Chains A and B, each alone.
Chain A
Amino acid sequence: MKGWRTGLAIGLALAVWRSSPGLAEEASPSLHPATEYLSTGMKAEQADLARNRGMLWVDQGAALWRQAQGVAGKACADCHGEAEASMRGVAARYPAVDATSNRLLNLEGRINQCRTTRQQAQALAYESNELLGLTAFIAYQSRGLPVNVATGGPAQPYVEAGRKLWNERQGQLNLACAQCHEAKAGHKLRGDTISSGVGTGYPVYRLEWQGMGSLHRRLRACQLGVRAIQFDQGAPEYLALELYLASRAAGLPIETPALRR
């Protein structure tokens, strides 16, 4: 009896906590990795690394990791050694506030910061095979590890900014991210299943793209769908949203390179 009451109290507390920030009209379901919404065939394709097309980019990233770059003539490996050891768990902690610049960096931003300051090389363009490859290669080292971003201290204002964007109606269709991806996750939007809005598999190989793409590219697609002004890849708004998504996804496993429709 007592256990039942405690359970109910915790359940109610969770329900209040879960539903407080959003526009969601129903109590939020627990979050699901987007892989759960894939067909059996696509799940198998994602799990089989001999068949997972994202591994083509992971391989490219692995090669770049060992190539000397820029004026400094240094490879990533010259400082960081074997990525399998040094990069394990790193992607699970990104986006993160960079202590020296006090700026929020996602993995792509961190790679480019290293390139411009340490390797003295050109920053890689968003959606270039090189940046997708390096990002996927580094995130791949955290495959299966739980998302664990810092949300307090200097990260807190960014989390709040991301949460605000998540809950803000936008575009001609006047929809907020939360309205679909919280309240309607698992439901059908035409033939597609709405995800819980967790970016735990990025960069992903998306069938619609017939290629690999970043989380920010995916966010642009959603903004296009609601007929809103799209932010640029790497924009501060997307970085904050990426951090907020990661904070919601805390504990879910990294799935890079994931396969998505």
Chain B
Amino acid sequence: MRPARIVVPETAKVGEIVEIKALIQHPMVTGHTAAGANTEPRDIIHTLTVTYDGAEIFRADFMPGIAANPYVAFTTVATVTGDIVFTWTDDKSEVTTAARTLRVP
């Protein structure tokens, strides 16, 4: 588990569009080797999935060109009170999950 940070509005009305932002601490080692440069094998987060109340609402495949500590933002439509769960998986199969509850009264 790596340090991660999700920002979601505390509450939203039914049908409201909400913005969700997330950061995770990860070096995103490209594995690319230039002369004299890093020779570490590639270790990037390759997949991010996000579920809302159990259903997948967002998925992203990350590429080696993405900077360290990747940031993601997207919008979704508030429907019911439920957990928004982020799952990041990297090349070493390390999985980080983090969640926030969106209340829809």
Contacts and interface: CB of A to CB of B under 8 A. Distances in A.
Given A59-B3, A60-B3, A211 B68 contact: yes
B21 A56 contact: no
A55 to B, nearest CB: 6
B23 A210 contact: no
Nearest to A53: B69
A59 B5 contact: yes
Given A50-B21, A51-B73, A56 B5 contact: yes
Interface string B69-98: 101010000000000000000000000000
Nearest to B26: A56
Interface string A41-60: 00000001111010111011
Contacts of B24: 56
A196 B36 CA distance: 33
Interface in B17-34: 21, 23-25, 27-28
Interface residues of A, number: 15
Contacts of B71: 51, 53
Interface residues of B, number: 15
Contacts of A48: 21
A252 B73 CA distance: 32
Contacts of A129: 25
B3 A210 contact: no
B68 A51 contact: no
A222 B17 CA distance: 46
B7 interface: yes
B3 A211 contact: no
A51 B23 contact: yes
Given A50-B21, A51-B23, A210-B27, A56 B69 contact: yes
A108 B54 CA distance: 43
A50 B8 CA distance: 9
Nearest to B67: A210
A185 B26 CA distance: 33
Nearest to A211: B68
Interface in A53-84: 53, 55-57, 59-60
A55 B69 contact: no
Given A50-B7, A60-B3, A55 B68 contact: no
B76 to A, nearest CB: 15
Contacts of B25: 56, 129
Given A50-B7, A51-B73, A56 B23 contact: yes
A210 B5 contact: no
Nearest to A52: B23
A56 B2 CA distance: 10
Nearest to B2: A56
Interface of A: 48-51, 53, 55-57, 59-60, 129, 205, 207, 210-211
Given A53-B71, A205-B69, A211-B68, 9 more contacts: A49-B7, A51-B21, A51-B23, A51-B71, A56-B3, A56-B25, A59-B3, A210-B28, A210-B68
Interface of B: 3-5, 7, 21, 23-25, 27-28, 67-69, 71, 73
